[in-house]
Structure 1
Amino acid sequence: MTAALPKAASADLFERVKDAVDLHDLAGRLGLEREGGKGNYRSPHHPDKNPSLSIFQKNGQWGWKDHSTGEAGSCIDLVMYVRPEVGPAGEAARQLAEWYGIAALQKPATKPQQRSIPEFIADRALAEPEPAVAYLASRRIDEAVVRAAIRQRTVGWNTWTNDKAPPGEFGHGGPAAVFVVRSLADRAIVAVDMRYADPALNGNVKTQCQGQKDGHPWTSDLQRLAKAHTVYVVESPINALSIECCPLPAGTAVLALRGTGNADKIDIAFLKGKRVIIALDHADPVNERTNRRPGLDAAWRLLDRLTSADIAARLVDMQDWEEGEDINDVLQAQGPEELWRRLRKLDHWLIPGMPGGGEPGSLAGRRRVFLPEQDFKVYWRFRTLDDFTQYVVDFKEDDDGKRRETLGDVCSFRVASLSRLRIQGHIATINGSADTQPETVFAISAQVPRHGPTLVRHVLADKTLYRLEEHRDVFGAIYKPQQYHRMLNMLERTADIGAREAVNFVGLAWRGGALAALEGRDCYFQEPVKQCLYHNMVFPRGTAQDAQAVIDAYQATFKQSAALIPLVWALGAHLKCVIGFYPHFQMEANKGAGKSLLTEAMQTTLGFQMLSGQMLKTDHRRRASVSYTSHPVGWDELSKQPQAVLSEADALLQSTYRFEFTRVGSSLTPYLMCAPVLLAGEEVDFTSLQSKICITTLTVEKQGTKLPLDLPQFPVWQWLQFLEKIEPARIRQMHTQRIDDCKEQSQTDPKDPTASRTIENYAAILTAWDLLCEFAGIKIGHGSFVGDLVGEMNAHLRETDGRRQPWVWIMEIFLAEIEAKNFRHPYLWDSIDDEDGKPHVALLLRPNLVIHHLSTALHLRSKFEALPVKKGRVFKNQLMESGVVLRDDIERTIRGTRTAHLTAISLPRLEKHGLYATPDLDRS
């Protein structure tokens, strides 16, 4: 077999093959039939009256499609479609390269990495897999199914024995079928499961696992699983291969959990949008200790997880199966046709897995919830389909004892679950304290025809649970209101089944006093579209290698880490519930600097949203954009908004630097405003936010290489899972250490409180960088990020020196009013000596009159409302502490009137803070 090419070389070969191969020529090589040398080709796998496989060119690229099956793709896909025995895409590409004389670019040889034990076993098992065909055939698994799995390199044969353990003892080993388990994220080998042909040689242990058991399922074909619209879930690879012997419809795949314990541990996000049919060993004998059937119990748990993630799932009805009978037993005893018939018989009861009839012995271990007599005597009447609910209106028995039922329609959807939820209060969510204000609500998940296999979720309060208008508006038609109410009454008994402690938050928050990574599927908002921008968020997934690739690409696309800094800021935003605050980010750019391209790339890389100026015009939209999430949001071209919008946005950004909870409207809809905001535009300047933001500036001179189009997304979900496992005290300690580091390298007065806050902001980003390096497996000094960020920090401190204090903003407005001759209150220019006897040009005024003017002048209303200081006493205290005051409580005659209690402010000292004025000789 040809040696595997490096990943980059394989990708290069794929592109070269696609560019070079003429599909019509390839169709001839593959033996496809074409009438008269024109038109479409005949489908290779079934007779068709009219040729159905078309070949075409679109945008200069060759493509094909078999309109009878829906299959389509490139030349590589055509080889795999016509000749499936060739194997996966890599083998098909190599076959085409051989036919057409195409060579792939080889990367320079690198030092080989040490192989793990599962990889070592898999290599040996896949080298000589032939005995696995005979062994699995003895279990009546079709040879074609086994060979297809061998081509996908998921089935092999192992002959290793342990010389230190004699035959008959555990650990001896022996001939065994090997099932190679690959990661769903990157297809890397993570484990091998061995099923021994003669368990007696291995101490009567018939199965053994090497590698990671938890969290990794097995499938014979990862590519088929990714494309499937229907997925059967079973316990073991043997059962999975047994189902593949059945005449499965196109678009169906089988997944093996590798044990009932994995029902709670696999990441089910990849099943989103697929129809899941659970066929675990429901007929397992009842466990005497728990009084449950282990397979059915695991099926219930998996069903609840899928339902809470809005994935439609059904159970195979195994009530009539023999006790202890599993899928492979049925295949061996009765063949694939009977097995397929049984697999298509799905559980149709209102409470999945809990039958409403049958012999008493068959119900053992199947009672999922207690139904009192008044409920159980009508429970059997309700029957469910995938997305429809019916009711037995009448029934009668024929002379031969056969029962015939008359069904009526109840509603045009299927209620998958009704669960009681205890929503954690916002204080416990943001700081991990004991929850003192939980809220109880009820979540109904239903499958409706228009959404296919994706469940529709609706959250209701106690008083609206039986309000049919709420159900009709969200789910669909209710044909029999009386029976529907009765059905809801019975489903109330199941509220405990799916009862859970929920947290309405997307990102990293506290749940039950511990950090937890949360997605949109974990939240239960009563008005999700209004309350959270990311209510349906599924974070990007990937590997540490993907994280490294993203970091390197962003490091290279702009010099001085100008693009990497906002990326790290965005990832570090999820630390907010740990350190208690997080800065906003200001991205300024000149025309043509690449700001739009960078923000678009960040949206793809991280899955966050940039909101247009139109979206930001109303207070409600701005509030909703930053609510209930630590995932950042972008506000684009904010500088183009009217001043009133800017003032309101400024106030919102002030509050979201930490957290703010509010309720809005007559229904008191709750909002927890906390998301860090990326401010992007040619000019973004909120004076009051100077100590609550971090800055980067994009210029044409800083531009580097463009971001590659095939750059993977950053694995944000794995990043959040990494953070939730870190001790919060360690993160806070890292932040404290980074504050000390930044203070040592800062170029500002250490006593300046606003400068200290700015330093804390940049230290938070450096803390995120330290953790990011640990997550991605790179060095902290990678790409001089730390030095670049410290440089940005010092530039920020220098540029904003004198503009970070509220008294500076007030004086700036006041001096402009003097220049415009709008200030009518008493003031005077004079010469005042300082402590050393040196004369200063000074402005004499009463600070409270300055505040009075700002608060009463109509043209200054918006500016005054945006100020954090609104009292003359506070303004005067800030002036005194700033060092610009020469003397206080001075008395002078102004315009013939004796004026006392004036404060003398030094003009030269004001200039050090960037405040300039021209003394008026008429008032000196």
Structure 2
Amino acid sequence: MTAALPKAASPDLFDRVKEAVDLHDLAERLGLERKGAKGNYRSPLHPDKNPSLSIFQRDGSWGWKDHSGDARGSCIDLVLYVRPEIGSAAGAARLLAEWYGIAVPAAAATGTGEPVKKSVPQFIADRALLDPEPVIAYLAGRGIAEEVSRAAIRSRALGWSHWLSNKVPPGTPGHGGPGAVFVVRSIADRTIVAVDLRYADPALNGNVKTQCQGIKEGHAWTSDLNRLAKAHTVYVVESPVNALSVECCPLPAGTAVLALRGTGNAEKLDIAFLKGKRIIIALDHADPINERTRKRPGLEAAWKLLDRLTAADIAAMLVDMQDWEDGEDINDVLKAQGVDDLWTRLRKLDGWLIPGMPGGGEPGSLDGRRRVFLPEHDFKVYWRFRTREDFTQYVVDFKDDDGRRHETLGDVCSFRVASLSRLRVQGHIATINGSTDTQAETVFGISAQTPRHGPTLVRRVVTDQTLYSLELHRSIFGAIFNPQQYQRMINVLERTADIGARDAVNFIGLAWRGGELAALEGRDCYFQEPAKQCLYHNMVFPRGTADAAREVIDAYQATFKQNAALIALVWALGAHLKCVIGFYPHFQMQANKGAGKSLLTEAMQTTLGFQMLSGQMLKTDHRRRASVSYTSHPVGWDELSKQSKVVLSEADALLQSTYRFEFTRVGAALTPYLMCAPVLLAGEEVDVTSLQSKICTTTLTVEKQGPKLPRDLPQFPVWQWLQFIEKSEPERIRTMHAQRIEDCKEQSRADPKDATASRMIENYAAILTTWDLVCEFAGIEVGQGGFVGDLVGEMNGHLSETDGRRLPWVWIMEILLSEIESHQFNHPYCWDEIKDDDGNNHIALMLRPAHVMDHLSNALHLRNKFDALPVKTARVFKSQLEGSGVVVREDVERTIRGRRTPHLTALSVQRMERLGLYATPNLERR
């Protein structure tokens, strides 16, 4: 497992890191378990009875090997082995440079050897991590155990600042002073994005107790990112001190703590990395009531975070803090009551039907905890419902005995309804072009936690008619033991429909939401029939960094010469521009046997997370329709040419419509479908004659083959790519496309008057526009690898190959000439010599266009071909003939089969041959 050196990385940095890093120290920081003081380490990827990972020095160089497999290499390889989510050797090298204080050289593209200037947070963190010992005593004064602080220090998440300003006088904000430093790293690439400072003597800093340097919004703090990545349970708290306080408790294995760093991040944090984890929210729910809003800020933030997690299908519960003192936070409990009492409190989870809203007392006396108004008749039964994480019960009976309350609980259902929300689903027209929505649909989303799905919520979209359908709820969520009380519970939850009410857009990829571009995943959509309506209904796009994007581009550029593979990759990325420019071409990938088509398509599936459908999946109209519905993410159709003529004809019609957009409703339930996904057509022979103006091409040959794509190649950061486009001005993208159209026209070998060729040029210009944006996103030069020239060459090759075959009249004439050769065309026609207006002799085929179309429409053996033709009238066929230049003379009269036949059209055989139409004239039939 030797790391490949990416072009965007500096060789000097790799050498510096390998020389400076002690692998035993690195193993400790990575959390590897060692057997004994000098033994081997346990493999991080699988359980092993005997530790199998050894670290050694050979000729002064450090190395390691996992003897349970073939993995081995340097410190960079070890980081990627333990933390594969980093994705690239360059990213691992920079992480090690940050951990060990190694100066990072400038990128090779800059041509300078000077170190890259560190950001303010990185500079503060480096200084704070040099001498972190004082922070242990400071945090001990807050009740935090020494081993917890030392673990955070080892993970490079905790340090101590000694900085004092020599410009700002003591006692003034900005003077600084000794204090704890909490190093905040990006969850995506683990780079330092901020530091939070907590001053030991706030008076010295003008009574400012805390300060943030760097990015506040969108980033959380944890003491160990590796522990967080592997955790199945995550406590979410408000501050780093509270997070360390929770870590003092005897947490079960697989538990981590995350600090939001303020209530504002409840709405800003990217929560995708919490997918599949059990979340317990322990913000400062006991905050004093805000006199203006009459709410508790910590509890209100907890509600917002809970709603976001629920919308993302992540199960979450609140810690019950109803009995905590006003203003009491987690660290206060640790200091005053000790670890045991804190751990007891943290394990007591909120069990009310509406999270965070107690059912005791009068409706008007919920002291900042009332989340929704319940009328008296609902409030009187609300308190009876009690929820566990994945189960719901009901208080059947109760009695008070000497001040103690005894309740008898009965089972309601085998799951917990996490939310019932009203959804306003945007209409398809507003989704694809950003216009004002005039056809929104109101439905309801029910999310429930079930034992079989663990911390992942089960979601179902229902209508007014099916909201109380017990059979529907049983079939989706689980058993309902008490139907009467279950329906009463749903009736109470109807009051909460406003809590999680939101405007939704059913689309995967990039679409318009409320008139603005938005990047959307499966968690953002509310399909009534998810598996039927969209192939990517549960899509979570690959994530990563710009470094990973550059590494992928370099690898695809190398694996096939003339950018044959990279053209396909860029086409797939550009598919998400469809809602911006209004169209996007399909893509034809042709290859001979052994050219590597299968390997490339498999690699693209991994790199981009798109699906390649087999021939079996393409046999029914429903499957084809569902595969291209409600998404701009491309889909692949493999070996389409092997299908029957009926399937090919229907597939052709679908591809014609999905060049832009087509909306339809199917079945008795009128299930909606928005068909728009660009399609990758792969195979040895892809017959797409009628689609020539709506596809782009690449051809794979053995001669073009280069080195195979590495198995450890990271995924392309599609999600970050979508967010990049989302933030771009749509008009700027359209302007870029218009400029690329002009560039392609200048280098095109097609006739400027050829309308079909102009459309093909627009298609290739769309891919070039994507390349411009990809280069901007990844930070590379547009001229890298000669991509632009190779794509223009592919375009000109496509134009020349299809010259004369891009219009339907050519396809009709091909069929007609075949029918004449096989003596199956029985209408009057003849061959004869005729002079044109310039006096030149031509051998001509004389016939009536109306007879041609009549033959094609009535011959049983031509039925499938006729149905697939876009032209079906003699008027349009004749008009295209006249515009093609093959007509020598019109309104000719000849004697055919002994009868005078007037109004014939004479078609030049010589001119047809120039367009690839070959005939065998029989001059005996004059």
**Fold shared by both chains (TM-score > 0.5):** yes
Specify whether residues 31 and 434 from structure 1 end up closer, same or farther in structure 2 by C-alpha distance, changes over 3 A only. closer
Matched with 1:103 is none
Matches within 5 A, 1:444-463: 444-463=446-465
Task: Give the aligned length.
Answer: 869
Matched with 1:316 is 319
Matched with 1:662 is 664
Matched with 2:346 is 343
Q: Distance in 1 between matches of 2:630 and 2:93?
A: 44
Matched with 2:782 is 780
Q: Are positions 1:142 and 2:112 aligned together?
A: no
Q: Are positions 1:690 and 2:692 aligned together?
A: yes
- Please state how far the C-alpha of 1:401 moved relative to its aligned partner: 1.1
Matched with 1:675 is 677
Specify whether residues 92 and 429 from structure 1 end up closer, same or farther in structure 2 by C-alpha distance, changes over 3 A only. closer
8 Å contact kept, 2:35–2:51: no
Look up the equivalent residue of 2:374 and give its one-letter code: L
Q: Are positions 1:227 and 2:193 aligned together?
A: no
8 Å contact kept, 1:806–1:867: yes
Q: Distance in 2 between matches of 1:196 and 1:448?
A: 45
- Please state how far the C-alpha of 1:62 moved relative to its aligned partner: 2.8
Q: Distance in 2 between matches of 1:706 and 1:282?
A: 55
Specify whether residues 91 and 746 from structure 1 end up closer, same or farther in structure 2 by C-alpha distance, changes over 3 A only. closer
Specify whether residues 90 and 116 from structure 1 end up closer, same or farther in structure 2 by C-alpha distance, changes over 3 A only. closer
Look up the equivalent residue of 1:193 and give its one-letter code: D
CA deviation vs aligned residue, 1:93-147 (integer Å, no higher than 9, x gap)? 99xxxxxxxxxxxx99964211111111100000010111111111010000000
Give 3-state SS (helix, strand or coil) of 1:563's partner: helix
Give 3-state SS (helix, strand or coil) of 1:329's partner: helix
Q: Distance in 1 between matches of 2:700 and 2:94?
A: 45
Q: Distance in 1 between matches of 2:837 and 2:671?
A: 58
Matched with 1:67 is none
Q: Distance in 1 between matches of 2:81 and 2:340?
A: 30
Q: Distance in 1 between matches of 2:776 and 2:764?
A: 19
Matches within 5 A, 1:48-59: 53-54=49-50
8 Å contact kept, 2:40–2:51: no
* Structure 1 runs (4+) greater than 2 angstroms displaced: 4-17, 25-33, 51-57, 60-64, 74-80, 89-94, 107-112, 358-363
Matched with 1:70 is none
The TM-score, its normalising length taken from structure 2, stands at: 0.90
Give 3-state SS (helix, strand or coil) of 1:538's partner: coil
Specify whether residues 176 and 689 from structure 1 end up closer, same or farther in structure 2 by C-alpha distance, changes over 3 A only. same
Specify whether residues 402 and 29 from structure 1 end up closer, same or farther in structure 2 by C-alpha distance, changes over 3 A only. closer
Q: Are positions 1:210 and 2:213 aligned together?
A: yes
Q: Are positions 1:565 and 2:567 aligned together?
A: yes
Q: Distance in 1 between matches of 2:327 and 2:605?
A: 51
Of 730, 741, 749 in structure 2, the residue corresponding to residue 739 of structure 1 is 741
- Please state how far the C-alpha of 1:77 moved relative to its aligned partner: 13
Q: Are positions 1:485 and 2:490 aligned together?
A: no
8 Å contact kept, 1:611–1:634: yes
Specify whether residues 750 and 12 from structure 1 end up closer, same or farther in structure 2 by C-alpha distance, changes over 3 A only. farther
Q: Distance in 2 between matches of 1:78 and 1:691?
A: 47
- Please state how far the C-alpha of 1:361 moved relative to its aligned partner: 9.6
Matched with 2:5 is none
Give 3-state SS (helix, strand or coil) of 2:150's partner: helix
CA deviation vs aligned residue, 1:820-848 (integer Å, no higher than 9, x gap)? 11100011111121120101111111111
Segments of 5+ residues of structure 1 without an aligned counterpart are: 34-40, 42-50, 65-73, 81-88, 95-106
Look up the equivalent residue of 1:227 and give its one-letter code: K
Q: Distance in 2 between matches of 1:780 and 1:192?
A: 36
Give 3-state SS (helix, strand or coil) of 2:834's partner: strand
Q: Distance in 1 between matches of 2:143 and 2:793?
A: 69
Specify whether residues 76 and 120 from structure 1 end up closer, same or farther in structure 2 by C-alpha distance, changes over 3 A only. closer
CA deviation vs aligned residue, 1:894-923 (integer Å, no higher than 9, x gap)? 101121211111111111111010012342
Specify whether residues 12 and 624 from structure 1 end up closer, same or farther in structure 2 by C-alpha distance, changes over 3 A only. farther
Give 3-state SS (helix, strand or coil) of 1:478's partner: coil
Q: Are positions 1:331 and 2:339 aligned together?
A: no
Matches within 5 A, 1:505-904: 505-904=507-906
Of 258, 283, 287 in structure 2, the residue corresponding to residue 284 of structure 1 is 287
- Please state how far the C-alpha of 1:53 moved relative to its aligned partner: 3.9
Q: Distance in 2 between matches of 1:478 and 1:470?
A: 11
Look up the equivalent residue of 1:746 and give its one-letter code: S
- Please state how far the C-alpha of 1:10 moved relative to its aligned partner: 6.8
Q: Are positions 1:62 and 2:62 aligned together?
A: no
The TM-score, its normalising length taken from structure 1, stands at: 0.91
8 Å contact kept, 1:825–1:849: yes
Give 3-state SS (helix, strand or coil) of 1:903's partner: strand
8 Å contact kept, 1:447–1:453: yes
Look up the equivalent residue of 1:778 and give its one-letter code: I
Q: Distance in 1 between matches of 2:411 and 2:133?
A: 54
8 Å contact kept, 1:13–1:93: no
Q: Distance in 1 between matches of 2:351 and 2:50?
A: 42
Matches within 5 A, 1:206-285: 206-285=209-288
Segments of 5+ residues of structure 2 without an aligned counterpart are: 1-10, 28-32, 54-64, 70-76, 84-91, 98-106
> Considering only aligned residues, what root-mean-square deviation do their CA atoms show, in Å?
2.8
Give 3-state SS (helix, strand or coil) of 1:217's partner: coil
- Please state how far the C-alpha of 1:431 moved relative to its aligned partner: 0.5
Matched with 1:98 is none
Q: Are positions 1:113 and 2:105 aligned together?
A: no
Q: Distance in 2 between matches of 1:136 and 1:91?
A: 30
Matches within 5 A, 1:294-309: 294-309=297-312
Look up the equivalent residue of 2:143 and give its one-letter code: R
Specify whether residues 16 and 758 from structure 1 end up closer, same or farther in structure 2 by C-alpha distance, changes over 3 A only. farther
Q: Percent identity?
A: 76
Q: Are positions 1:126 and 2:129 aligned together?
A: yes
Q: Distance in 2 between matches of 1:769 and 1:839?
A: 50
Matched with 1:185 is 188
8 Å contact kept, 1:802–1:914: yes
Look up the equivalent residue of 1:688 and give its one-letter code: S
Moved more, 913-922 or 245-254: 913-922
- Please state how far the C-alpha of 1:11 moved relative to its aligned partner: 9.2
- Please state how far the C-alpha of 1:668 moved relative to its aligned partner: 1.0
Matched with 1:397 is 400
8 Å contact kept, 1:562–1:696: yes
Q: Distance in 2 between matches of 1:457 and 1:691?
A: 41
Specify whether residues 16 and 619 from structure 1 end up closer, same or farther in structure 2 by C-alpha distance, changes over 3 A only. farther
Specify whether residues 774 and 901 from structure 1 end up closer, same or farther in structure 2 by C-alpha distance, changes over 3 A only. same
CA deviation vs aligned residue, 1:7-59 (integer Å, no higher than 9, x gap)? 69879999999xx9xxxx984654799xxxxxxx9xxxxxxxxx9944579xx
Give 3-state SS (helix, strand or coil) of 1:515's partner: strand
- Please state how far the C-alpha of 1:646 moved relative to its aligned partner: 1.0
Q: Distance in 1 between matches of 2:458 and 2:908?
A: 67
- Please state how far the C-alpha of 1:592 moved relative to its aligned partner: 1.1
Give 3-state SS (helix, strand or coil) of 1:690's partner: helix
8 Å contact kept, 1:63–1:75: no
Look up the equivalent residue of 2:527 and give its one-letter code: F
Look up the equivalent residue of 2:236 and give its one-letter code: V
Q: Are positions 1:161 and 2:157 aligned together?
A: no
CA deviation vs aligned residue, 1:320-357 (integer Å, no higher than 9, x gap)? 00000001000010011111100000000001111101
Q: Distance in 1 between matches of 2:683 and 2:536?
A: 23
8 Å contact kept, 1:79–1:92: no
- Please state how far the C-alpha of 1:290 moved relative to its aligned partner: 1.2
8 Å contact kept, 2:14–2:93: no
Matched with 1:379 is 382
Specify whether residues 26 and 390 from structure 1 end up closer, same or farther in structure 2 by C-alpha distance, changes over 3 A only. closer
Look up the equivalent residue of 1:549 and give its one-letter code: E
